[in-house]
Structure formats: structure tokens, C-alpha cells
Amino acid sequence: VTPNEIPIAHDGIAVIVNPSNPLSEISVEKLSDIYSGKAKSWSDVGAKGLGDIQAISRDPSSGTYDSFKEMVIQKPDKTRDYAASCVQTASNEAVLTTVGQTKGAIGYIGLAYVNDKVKVLGVIPLGGGKPAVKPSESTVRDNSYPISRLLYLYTDGVPAGNVKTYIDWGLSDEGQKIVKEVGYITLK
Amino acid sequence: MAQAAPVKIKHSVRRVAESVIERIIQVAGFLAVVFVLLILVFLLRESLPIFKDYSLGKLLAGRDWRPTSDPALFGMLPLILGSIFVTVGAMVVSVPLGVGCAVFVAEIASPRMKEILKPLIEMLAAIPSVVYGFLGLLLLGPWLAKILDLPIGQFGMVGAILLAFIAIPTIVSVCEDALSAVPRAFRENSLALGATRWQTIARVTIPAARSGLFAAVLLGLGRAIGETMTVLMVTGNSPVIPEGLKAFLKPLATMTAIIAQQMGETVYGSDHYHALFMLGLLLFLASLAVSIISDVVIRRMPGVRA
């Protein structure tokens, strides 16, 4: 098998908190502290009256779990990893539900899944000094939102035949329109 | 004599047919044993390679389950303790409720009420565990978190309570059979000697049925320890070592939930893969131990068998 990757869409991972949370932005460093267990209380990251942080993560079978680890937790320090105390949920929906119901919770989900039961935080890129960036079509596509990634289709070698037809369709205006409809961000 | 011949043929045909059927039943019986052995062989084959890189002590006593770290750690202690916590918690809830319910159905309820109650309780068993998980995630967990003033609605006790409801139909149904198997004469003698109904139940019927009640409890335990979907959905799956009774109010992870959660995306033949099979082997040995213990204890206990 010779894997061949073809970018098909952009995706941002949105950091979400309960709507009652007063924060509107957070830095990559603070997020890393939270998920690696260094920061345990909301007062450690500048919000008062919320008590302990309930860090919600996806489970290790999820691609988002790995993406978030690479792009956030290990950004300030390669040796960091998820703390055992993170609550692991099996789907984007479960993260949404839990964060929506839990006052002190923070979670992350694919931008396509965000709804109004939760509040999306702006993220300050590593190193600070720059303003917080909210995930949006333009900030994800130009990578200025720090937790952006490409989504790929994989083929065995250079695609041919029906596989090629399918991929060409996915990259066409018609395919990209569907990418947008389901909440992901088009390549162009 | 001329007429006897066909009868004889019929007899021998019947005898052949009977021995064929006997053989089939025999094979079916042996097959069950063969399947269990094959499963054991498969579990051993897929789990033993983990010992190339990790010692048994490091696995069983390891306090960190970090399958995607570098280097990966497969400390199973938090998961083993998590399973024990949730299962014991479930038994604390389900045994009194289940046995009490069985006593009511078998000894106190009128025949008509019994006719309604029994199928209703058995219907509990027909509810898929994913539905219990949903109820726990959306209703029971958040509600308990609110009244107990907990920060999050996913914790050990939610799993224990739901598992209790999953184990209750098994416990009730086996208990009820055991109680019904106690001969009428026992109760009649007790009542005739002037004992009240309660004295009869507590000192005659229940002691007489105790081996069956014990079997019911162990079957319920087996049901609870192997349940996966419900605990996966409601306990938070945080591989933290549960410490003290307070751990019931915190997220924890069980062996079954971790296997279900992680097996799907693990690389075939990797250490992680073998470690998950090792968890499976431990679960297998745990259920084996439960059935052997119940067998030995039931055989030693005097009383009426269910």
C-alpha cells in the first residue's frame, strides 16, 4: 500500500465552554496547562467563581484527540500529554452535551458541530503578544486560527478510474459546496 | 410372528434416530466447552506478546494508562479498581432491591399481581444497555450532579446505579425461582407452629433457598462486571485511581469501557492492541473465578436447589 493523501477540506477545532463562563478567550499555553493537568482551577486561568476545571476530551480513537494533543497540549512542551483526570467522551455530540450541562467544563469539537448551547472561545496563538483569534471560515483557511487542520482523503497510490472520478467530484465546485453545507471549510 | 417383523424394523429405526439425536445433543454440549477453550486460546495468543515489552507487575500495578504517550504506559490498576468500584457499587444497590423484590413477588404478592409484576421486571432486562447509557448521560447524571452539588454529571455512582438496574432482572428472576422451589410444607409447618408471615419468610423460606439466592447474586455480579456500553457512556472514562468512597463521585474508567473505546482504532499487533487483549483476558478470568466460586459455594450450602 502506498498511501496518497489528498486535502479535501479545512477544519478548525473550536474550544468551547459553558455559556455561563465569563471568559471569551484563552491562550494555547493555558489550554495546554488545563489539559495536561497543570491548571486545575478556573482561577488559575483568570476566571473566578467557577471552581475546578472539568476538562472534557475526546477518546483516543478519535482523530480530533490526536490533533488537539499535537496542536495544543504539546505546543509549549513536547513531553506533555492528556492528564488522566480528563473526562473522555465518545463523540462530538457528547462533548457538546456535557459542556452545555456542566458549569465548569471546557471541551473541544470540530467547528462543524458547534451550536448555541455552548460558547466558543477565541484562542491566543503560542508565544502571546498577538490578539485572540476566533475560529471562522477565513481564519481557519489562512491558518491564523491556531487549531486549524486539513482533512484528507486517502488512496492507495495515484487515484484512477472510479476513485479518481469520486475525488475529482469532491474537489469540484459541487463537492466543495457540500463541504460547506455540512459545516467544514472549503479549500478555496 | 409374521406381523412382528415390521414392528422390529420400526423399533430399530427409532433406536438409530434416537442415538443420532443423542449424539447431536452431546456434540452441542461439547461445542460450548470447545468455544470457551478457543476463546481462551485466542485471548492468550493476542495478549501474551505484551510481556515482551512490559512485565506483569508493571501492567497490574502500574498507575498510569497512557496508550498514546511516548513511551506508552499500560498501567491497569486504575481500570481494574474502576471495574471493582462500579461493580461493587452496583451490587450494594441491586442485591437488597432484587432480593426484596423477589421475596415480594414469590411470597407476598397475590397471584394476579405476580402475573403483572414478573413480566414487567423481565422487561427491564430487554432494555438495551445503550438506552440506559442515554438515560444516565442526559438525565440521571446531571440530576445527581445537581442534588449532590458535583462539578460534572459523569462519575462512578451513575454507572453503579445503572448497572444495578441492569443486574436486577437477573437477580429477581433467579431468586424468585429459588424461593418458589422451597416446598410448601416448609411454610405450612412454620405457620402451623405459630410463626408470623414475616418470621416464616425471614427464618424459614429465605434460609431454605439460600443457595439459589447466592447463585442469583453471583449471576447479577457477572452481568454487572461485563457490561460495557452503559459505563462507557456515563462514567467519564478517566483512568484515575479511585481512592476511598469519594471516588464514586468522580469520573473513573472501567476495563470494559476502555477496551470498547480504544480497540477500534488501535494498530493491529501493537503493544496497545496486546494490552487491550490482556484486559480482556483479565475480565475472562474474573468471570471464570465468579462462576467457580459460585459452584463451590452452592455445592457446599445445604438447602433446596433452584
pLDDT at site B248: 93
pLDDT beyond 60 at A42: yes
Residue closest to B78 by CA, chosen among B91, B67, B68 = B67
pLDDT of residue B302: 59
User: Which pLDDT score, from 0 to 100, does residue B306 have?
Assistant: 43
Contact: B261, A60; criterion CB under 8 Å:
yes
Q: How many cross-chain Cβ pairs, A to B, lie less than 8 Å apart? A: 69
- Span B14-27, pLDDT tens digits: 888 889 999 999 99
First to last CA, chain B: 50
Residue B117, C-beta contacts closer than 8 angstroms, at least 6 positions apart: B104, B105, B109
DSSP-derived 3-state class of residue A38: coil
Contacts of B142 in chain A (CB under 8 A): 101
Q: Share the mean pLDDT of chain B.
A: 89
φ, ψ for residue A173 (rounded to 5)? Answer: -55, -40
CB contact under 8 A, B154 and A87: yes
Q: Stretch B183-199: mean pLDDT, rounded?
A: 92
Judge contact between A134 and A120, C-beta under 8 A: yes
Q: How confident is the model at residue B9, as a pLDDT? A: 67
- B278-303: average pLDDT: 84
> Residue B158: which pLDDT band, with cuts at 50, 70 and 90?
very high
Nearest CB to A87 within list B65, B69, B237: B237
Q: Inter-chain contact A69–B153, Cβ cutoff 8 Å?
A: no
Q: What is the pTM of this model?
A: 0.85
Average pLDDT, integer, range B214-239? 91
Select from A60, A94, A102 the Cβ nearest to the Cβ of B68.
A60
> What pLDDT, on the 0 to 100 scale, is given for residue B215?
87
Q: What percent of chain B has pLDDT over 70?
A: 95
B219/B30 Cα distance (integer angstroms) = 22
pLDDT tens track for B114-129? 999 988 998 888 999 9
pLDDT band, residue A107 (cuts 50/70/90): very high
pLDDT of residue B1: 47
pLDDT (0 to 100) of residue A1:
84
Residues 121-140 of A with CB under 8 A from B: none
Cell of A82: 492528556
CA-based nearest residue in chain A for residue B71? A79
Closest C-alpha among A125, A69, A64 to residue A93: A64
Which residues of chain A have a CB within 8 Å of the CB of B145?
102
DSSP B108: I
DSSP letters spanning A106-158: EEEEEGGG--TTSEEPEEEPTTS-SPPB---HHHHHTT-SSSEEEEEEEEESS
User: Taking CB atoms and an 8 Å cutoff, what residues of chain A touch B152?
Assistant: 54, 87, 98, 102, 104-105
What DSSP state is assigned to residue B52? G
Binary contact (A94, B137; C-beta < 8 A): yes
User: Which residues 6+ apart lie within 8 Å of A88 measured at CB?
Assistant: A57, A58, A59, A60, B236, B237, B238, B253, B261
Q: How confident is the model at residue B297 (pLDDT cuts 50, 70, 90)?
A: confident
Mean pLDDT computed over B46-52: 94
Task: Assess whether pLDDT exceeds 80 at residue B6.
Answer: no
| B69, B142, B152: residue with CB nearest A54 | B152
Exposed, middle or buried: residue A61 (CB in 10 Å: 0-12, 13-18, 19+)?
A: middle
Q: How many residues does chain B have?
A: 306
The verdict on A158 touching B (C-beta cutoff 8 Å) is no
Chain B residues touching residue A88 (CB < 8 angstroms): 236-238, 253, 261
User: Is the CB of residue A102 less than 8 Å away from at least one CB of chain B?
Assistant: yes
Q: Is the pLDDT of residue A36 over 60?
A: yes
Report the b/e string of A121-135 with b at 16+ CB within 10 A: bbbbbeeeeeeebeb
**B153:A52 CB<8 A:** no
What is the C-alpha radius of gyration for chain B, rounded to an integer number of angstroms? 25
